[in-house]
Structure 1
Amino acid sequence: MAKPMTKTQLVAALADEMEADKKAASAALDAITSVITREVAGGGAVTLPGVGKIYCRERPERMVRNPATGEQIKKEADKVVKMTIAKALKDSVNG
């Protein structure tokens, strides 16, 4: 498996795609990240066309096991961020 792209590499690639400087690309990436974070933290969802949908899902209270001791512990309800991958991206990877 290849190493994931770093933020610096992503900003450089984005600057090339936008035909802009790295400072503008970095500002655009930070703005997108901020908008997504604010929306998902507020319980909403964000769809990135061609990439997927990012949303927050609530998990109910449940019993979990401590792997070190084997003890059963009751875990409180919490929230988890999920992402559904778009069909277009799946198709481009598989075909």
Structure 2
Amino acid sequence: MNTSDLIAQIAETTSRPKAEVKEILDAALDTIVAAAKKDEDVTLTGFGKFAVRHLAARTGRNPATGESIEIAATRKLAFTAGKGVKDALVLPKKPAKKAPATKKPPARKRA
């Protein structure tokens, strides 16, 4: 699903014009990015949490030449799914299969 598909689905679900939904979605995403720029977490209860993760500077290797390079410190936006999302994604358990019954060898006759 891409942005236009998401907008169309929300518009259909809420009976709102696509232009209005696009405006609201853009505002929500802009707000999340603005909070991330300030190192603030955004928690949507039942859905998940957007948090800024800080990656320290480190030494890496250029795969083409094998030369060591310095990788600068950076920040990234990470998403952690909430309980509601995790529960929605759980696959139903399949019933356990019974092991096939093994046939017993015929009893020996005593003479």
TM-score class, shorter = 0.7 to 0.9
Q: Are the equivalent residues in 2 in contact too, given 1:52–1:83 (CA < 8 A)?
A: yes
How far, CA to CA, are the matches of 2:13 and 2:37 in structure 1? 29
User: Whose radius of gyration is greater, 1 or 2?
Assistant: 2
How far, CA to CA, are the matches of 2:3 and 2:23 in structure 1? 12
**Bigger helix fraction:** 1
Deviation of residue 46 (structure 1)? 0.7
Higher relative contact order (CA 8 A, sep 6+): 1
Please provide the CA RMSD for this pair: 1.2
Which runs of 5 or more residues in structure 1 are unaligned? Answer: none
Per-residue CA shift, 1:18-70, capped at 9, x if unaligned? 22111111111011011111111111111123321111111111111111111
Runs of 4+ in 1 over 4 A off after TM superposition: none
Partner of residue 92, structure 1: 88
Scaled by the length of structure 1, the TM-score of the pair is 0.86
**Bigger strand fraction:** 1
Which runs of 5 or more residues in structure 2 are unaligned? Answer: 92-111
How far, CA to CA, are the matches of 1:53 and 1:23 in structure 2? 27
- Report % sequence identity: 33
